[in-house]
């Protein structure tokens, strides 16, 4: 079981959280400009590095706030994504 | 947060004298709780504290409005994961912009009106959620051991003590956990529809402390 640090509540069991996928996926400026392949890329294609990935998590069973962390996908080691912390309510 | 919600549900202001008799989710289990009471140095007891008034308050953090709201309630703004006030009338921290007022009915009269006049036109909300949860009270020297069986938080006094609160999982249900006394004594606020489940879970965890 992972121990995940909620920026508000502190260390909690993984089961209290839900995963929100890769962070910082920007919405297209003009979706109508996109062809089907580009729209499909925006919807479904995400980075899949072996190493650091910035992710969204939500503390579902606690304060119900969204926040970002940088997770090493090889080791599951998590570090807070500090600059985003307070905007992620 | 720019949307202004003013839900006009106002249970706290309702005239309860003319209302139909109320029923709490665990009212039929009082005798069972009584029988499960364990006495002595490893004692623990469980009971329901029904009908506490609960107001969910969304207030902008680090803001004059949050100060004004707390002042209107004659309480201080709670620090993160803490409770301000006494157990008869308290503000629980639920999030960076969210508090829960928990108070005995008599001490909650006019609270919603006071909060709303303090909020004025600022963003946020104030909603009476008294019917959302009921309250279980778990007390006695073994209360912490009982809770630890169903909760993954560190409840040792070095990490969790009187005046602390947390929203967390107890078994499979979400609850608001609040330590009200050093004995230790806890209040557990749980959704009405999960109250039976949580009561079953706690009674099972208490069984080993019952003598004989
Ligand atoms: Zn949290």
Comparing A46 with B211, the larger pLDDT belongs to A46
Q: Nearest CA to CA, how far is A13 from chain B (Å)? A: 7
Q: Are residues B211 and B138 in the same domain?
A: yes
Mean pLDDT for A11-35 is 95
B57 inside domain: yes
Distance A86 CA to ligand 1 centre (A): 13
CA quadruple B159, B160, B162, B167: dihedral sign: positive
Q: Are residues B209 and B171 in the same domain?
A: yes
Tokens 């072996």 map to which residue? A50
Domains of chain A are: 3-80 (3.30.2270.10)
Query: How far, rounded to the nearest angstrom, does the alpha carbon of residue B102 sit from its chain's CA centroid?
Result: 6
Residue-wise pLDDT tens digits, A27-73: 999 999 999 999 999 999 999 999 999 999 999 999 999 999 999 99
- Among the partner-chain residues B94, B97, B166, the one whose CB lies closest to the CB of A89 is B97
Distance A56 CA to ligand 1 centre (A): 13
Q: Are residues B85 and B156 in the same domain?
A: no
The reported pTM is 0.88
Q: Which residue of A has its CA nearest to B92?
A: A63
Q: Are residues B68 and B172 in the same domain?
A: no
Q: Are residues B138 and B212 in the same domain?
A: yes
| Residues B202 and B208 sit within 8 Å (Cβ to Cβ) | no
Residues of B within 8 A of A62 (CB-CB) are 166-168
**Which of A85, A84, A87 has its CA nearest to residue A7?**
A85
Instruction: Examine the pLDDT at B149 and tell me if it is beyond 70.
Output: yes
DSSP codes joined into one string, B40-88: STT-BEEEEETT-EEEEEE--SSSHHHHHHHHHTT-PPPPTTBEEEETT
- Decide if A61 and B98 are in contact by the 8 Å CB cutoff: no
B2 inside domain: no
Q: Are residues B138 and B68 in the same domain?
A: no
Q: Which residue of A has its CA nearest to B165?
A: A9
| Residues B118 and B126 sit within 8 Å (Cβ to Cβ) | no
Q: How many A-B residue pairs are in contact by the CB < 8 A criterion?
A: 38
CATH of the domain at B119: 3.30.70.1520
Domain count, chain B: 2
Please give the pLDDT value at position B63: 78
The whole-angstrom separation of Cα B121 and Cα B119 is 6
- Decide if B169 and A63 are in contact by the 8 Å CB cutoff: no
Residue-wise pLDDT tens digits, B86-110: 999 999 999 999 999 999 999 999 9
Question: B116: domain range?
Answer: 52-129
Kindly state the percentage of chain B with pLDDT values over 70.
90
Q: What is the ipTM of this complex?
A: 0.85
């Amino acid at each position: 079981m992972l121990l995940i640090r909620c920026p508000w509540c502190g260390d909690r069991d993984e089961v209290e959280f839900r995963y929100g996928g890769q962070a910082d996926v920007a919405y297209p400026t003009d979706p109508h400009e996109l062809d089907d392949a580009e729209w499909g890329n925006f919807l479904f294609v995400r980075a899949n590095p072996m190493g650091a990935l910035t992710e969204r998590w939500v503390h579902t069973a606690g304060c119900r706030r969204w926040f970002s962390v940088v997770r090493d996908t090889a080791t599951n080691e998590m570090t807070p994504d500090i600059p985003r912390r307070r905007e992620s309510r | 947060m720019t949307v202004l919600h003013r839900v006009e549900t106002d249970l706290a202001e309702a005239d309860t004298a003319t209302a139909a008799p109320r029923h709490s989710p665990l009212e039929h289990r009082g005798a069972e709780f009584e029988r499960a009471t364990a006495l002595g140095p490893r004692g623990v007891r469980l009971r329901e504290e029904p009908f506490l008034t609960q107001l969910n308050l969304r207030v902008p953090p680090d803001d004059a409005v949050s100060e004004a709201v707390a002042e209107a309630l004659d309480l201080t703004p709670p620090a993160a994961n803490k409770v301000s006030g006494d157990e008869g009338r308290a503000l629980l921290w639920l999030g960076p912009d969210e508090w829960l007022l928990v108070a005995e009915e008599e001490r909650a009269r006019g609270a919603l009106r006071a909060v709303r006049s303090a909020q004025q036109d600022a963003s946020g909300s104030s909603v009476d959620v008294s019917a959302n949860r009921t309250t279980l009270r778990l007390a006695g020297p073994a209360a912490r051991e009982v809770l630890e069986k169903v909760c993954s938080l560190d409840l040792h006094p070095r990490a969790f003590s009187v005046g602390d609160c947390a929203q967390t999982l107890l078994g499979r249900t979400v609850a608001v956990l609040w330590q009200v006394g050093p004995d230790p004594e806890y209040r557990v606020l749980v959704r009405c529809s999960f109250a039976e489940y949580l009561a079953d879970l706690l009674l099972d965890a208490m069984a080993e402390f019952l003598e004989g």
